[in-house]
Amino acid sequence: MTKNTLFQYWPVMIGEFYNSEHNNIKKDLLNFFKDYEKKNPKGNKQLHDKNYTGNHNLYQSSYNLHQEKNDALHKVLKFIAKSILETAKLTNKASIDQFENHKHELSLNLVETWFIRYNQGGMIYPHNHGNFSWSCVYYVQVGKESKKMNGSTYFMKPYNPQYPSDFGSKYMKNAQTTFKAEEGKLLVFPGFLYHGSHPFSGENDRMIISANSMTELKKVDK
Ligand SMILES: [Fe+2]
């Protein structure tokens, strides 16, 4: 008898990874950010454009943070790269399996990396990183005040705004999904997915690292 099958096409995957080394590197990362901001007080130029009306009340570094020399930074970037690679491998398993008999390896390149320090109430409007397959946010510091409506990251449903209202479509009912910000947590998401951050208020500034990546299937000579 022919087997019934339920296919799943174009899934929206969001990966959640925890860095067990976070507490060992947090202090060094915060000191590095402090020094960086001292050396580059203006940060990302866009935020100083007087006609710019988007994200506000925050400091953002340039997009080439990975070119800076700092041990703690490179430890966390390694964790980020490993986690994104794991996500890309699992998501593309069917395609990778086709190369099973050949010597191929998936490699990942962090093309853009940056950090953001949010002043009290600072926020990011909904946007996407459409040119990249996988992007991420890593929470370096959020503090005990963090909760769903304070400093969390939200993702918007990528489908058409209209959907049937009967129970059959309940799985896609919510217009957005929200992940609580937690220190040492990394969220990996596809670049096309619209997202933003709820304003954060707390004793310490909210600090995050973000990255945009490219993955490539390379032939390995063995
Ligand atoms: Fe983003």
Could you tell me the distance, in angstroms and rounded to a whole number, from the CA of residue 5 to the centre of ligand 1? 36
Could you tell me the distance, in angstroms and rounded to a whole number, from the CA of residue 7 to the centre of ligand 1? 30
Number of helices (H) and strands (E) in the chain: give both, helices first. 3, 9
Residue 211 CA from chain centroid, whole number: 6
Could you tell me the distance, in angstroms and rounded to a whole number, from the CA of residue 195 to the centre of ligand 1? 6
Could you tell me the distance, in angstroms and rounded to a whole number, from the CA of residue 166 to the centre of ligand 1? 33
Could you tell me the distance, in angstroms and rounded to a whole number, from the CA of residue 85 to the centre of ligand 1? 19
Could you tell me the distance, in angstroms and rounded to a whole number, from the CA of residue 196 to the centre of ligand 1? 6
**pLDDT tens digit string along 125-163?**
999 998 899 999 999 999 888 898 899 999 999 987 677
| Other Cβ atoms within 10 Å of 55 Cβ, number | 19
Task: DSSP for 75-114, please give it.
Answer: HHHHHHHHHHHHHHHHHTHHHHHTTTTS-EEEEEEEEEEE
The reply to whether the predicted model has a pTM over 0.85 is yes
**pLDDT tens digit string along 30-55?**
999 999 999 999 887 666 677 777 77
Could you tell me the distance, in angstroms and rounded to a whole number, from the CA of residue 129 to the centre of ligand 1? 6
Domains detected in the chain? 15-159+172-219 (2.60.120.620)
**pLDDT tens digit string along 179-222?**
999 999 999 999 999 999 999 898 999 999 999 999 998 877 76
